[in-house]
């Protein structure tokens, strides 16, 4: 009698575990938040522990082993392949990357600011399209990402066009004019902490770094979203806005990019 009772409990637990596992798999496949939690928290932490290195180091390894040195497109293709097939990562990605390419080519900037370097993917996309003597300054606060980005950018052969500034955007932006000899910015790419999009845009204005015609392009407008930034620029007559629907990098999840052209201060 007791044996039958124990068997019944074990069977019930087994069935319950299977149902729970099936439910979790279904949730991860259908819910964006669950998918991101699984990729960024669970799976990444386990892989980091097993391999004793970070995801970003693994991306660098893939580029070092597989990309053609001095070929920016080869580096981009290598990162896209790794992040779409092996481990998801927060690059702008190949689909939204085409939007970025188009706007950079249309703007034809001489001085570019990127907020959020990460592994250097978008810096490479931008820098490979810049004309001679144009430059890109990219700000990254995470000290672990900076050396990885530097090495990947060097493999792409673009270290002469890209300068990585380590620190927080709110600290570095006010230093751009005097310390880094930036008069005005032609193009700004926002791809850092989403809650910093709005205050950093305001800071760029306050520091006099935007000229009439300066273009700001912001990533991840829908996921994870930047509602304060959207509210600020779309309700502000100093900006002319265009939205570019797309998908979250390496996923079929709705996302978009927002372009804001600075029309000049109110008194112009």
Active site residues: 191, 194, 219-220, 249
C-alpha 233: how far from chain center: 20
Residue 212's closest CA among 240, 179, 180, 235?
240
End-to-end CA distance of the chain: 90
Could you tell me the strand order of the sheet in which 239-247 lies?
Answer: 162-166, 135-140, 111-115, 185-190, 210-218, 254-262, 239-247
**Cβ count near 96 (within 10 Å):** 24
C-beta separation of 258 from 243 below 8 A: yes
C-beta separation of 177 from 209 below 8 A: yes
Helix (H) or strand (E) holding 93: helix 93-107
């Amino acid at each position: 009698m007791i044996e039958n009772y124990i068997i019944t409990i074990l069977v019930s637990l087994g069935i319950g575990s299977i149902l729970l596992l099936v439910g979790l798999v279904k949730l991860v496949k259908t819910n964006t938040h669950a998918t991101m939690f699984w990729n960024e928290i669970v799976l990444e932490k386990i892989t980091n522990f097993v391999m004793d290195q970070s995801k970003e180091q693994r991306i660098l390894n893939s580029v070092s082993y597989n990309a053609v040195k001095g070929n920016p497109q080869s580096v981009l293709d290598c990162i896209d392949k790794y992040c779409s097939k092996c481990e998801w990562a927060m690059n702008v990605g190949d689909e939204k990357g085409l939007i970025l390419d188009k706007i950079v080519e249309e703007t034809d900037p001489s001085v570019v600011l990127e907020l959020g370097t990460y592994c250097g993917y978008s810096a490479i996309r931008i820098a490979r399209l810049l004309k001679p003597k144009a430059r890109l300054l990219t700000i990254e606060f995470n000290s672990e990402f900076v050396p990885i980005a530097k090495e990947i950018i060097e493999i792409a052969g673009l270290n002469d066009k890209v300068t990585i500034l380590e620190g927080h955007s709110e600290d570095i932006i006010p230093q751009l004019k005097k310390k880094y000899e930036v008069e005005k910015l032609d193009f700004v790419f926002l791809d850092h902490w989403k809650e910093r999009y709005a205050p950093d845009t305001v800071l760029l204005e306050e520091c006099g770094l935007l000229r009439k015609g300066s273009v700001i392009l912001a990533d991840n407008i829908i996921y994870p979203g930047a509602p304060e930034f959207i509210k600020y620029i779309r309700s502000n007559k100093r900006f002319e806005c265009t939205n570019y629907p797309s998908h979250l990098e390496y996923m079929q999840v709705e996302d978009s990019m927002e372009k804001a052209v600075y029309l000049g201060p109110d008194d112009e």
